Amino acid sequence: MGKKKNHKMFIFTAPSGSGKTTVVRHLLNKYNFLDFSVSATSREKRPHEVEGKDYYFLSEEEFRTKIDEGAFLEWEEVYDNQFYGTLKSEVDRVWEAGKHMVFDIEVNGATNLKKMYGDQALAVFIKVPSFMELVKRLKSRKTESPSSLKKRIKRIKRELTYEESFDTVLINDKLEVTLQEAENIVCQFIGMRKESAE
């Protein structure tokens, strides 16, 4: 996997319900020099999701085959038989287009990418003010069954302990402020004044 010096990587990670997808979408809409790394997953497609835009949806068998072929930069079995990963071809696609790459990725994947790309990558951990707020947000989504919610909450407790492993922490309390801070983080890392980036 070739590293291209001028290309940067923004790795946004957070427990479910912290708002990382909202932050990432805002940045992608705001800056045309950013492009999204579409992850692959073996989980079921949700009704609003689009193949190749939200995820590459693979069967469990297809996912395992790609693991064996070495097609992934990183991957993880997040829940039993439910895989997520970053295809090497995604990094090539974005960097060949001359853009900086943005990831919306779970905590272990983020840790692995940061190790691989070092100073070329900025890993941002997004957190909400409290654990209870996170649980409330997850419940209000109404996308989880009671058993899947229970699994997510257990995972969240573990993921919250990773906070210190990342380059910077972005508190998502008031969304408007969070989005402004996310813009500042991006512009600082690529060495661009915010006004000239807009």
Number of H helices, E strands in the chain: 8, 9
CB within 8 Å of 56: residues ≥ 6 apart: 38, 39, 40, 41, 87
What pLDDT was estimated at residue 4?
59
Q: What is the pLDDT along the chain (198 residues), one digit of tens a residue?
A: 445 557 999 999 988 778 899 999 999 999 999 999 999 999 999 899 999 998 999 999 999 999 999 999 999 898 888 999 999 999 999 999 999 999 998 888 899 999 999 999 999 999 887 777 777 767 776 666 777 777 777 777 777 667 778 999 999 889 999 999 999 999 999 988 777 776
What pLDDT was estimated at residue 179?
97
Give backbone dihedrals phi and psi of 49, rounded to 5 degrees, phi first: -85, 150
Q: Are 113 and 73 contacting, i.e. CB atoms less than 8 angstroms apart? A: yes
> Which sequence spans correspond to the domains of the chain?
9-193
The model's pTM: 0.81
Q: Where are the alpha helices (DSSP H) in the chain?
A: 20-30, 60-69, 88-96, 107-117, 131-141, 146-159, 175-190, 194-197
Pick the CATH number of 9-193 from 3.40.50.620, 3.40.50.300, 3.40.640.10, 1.10.150.110: 3.40.50.300
Q: Are 55 and 12 contacting, i.e. CB atoms less than 8 angstroms apart? A: no
What pLDDT was estimated at residue 157?
72
What pLDDT was estimated at residue 197?
72
What pLDDT was estimated at residue 138?
72
Give backbone dihedrals phi and psi of 37, rounded to 5 degrees, phi first: -85, 110
DSSP code at position 43: S
Q: How many residues appear in the chain?
A: 198
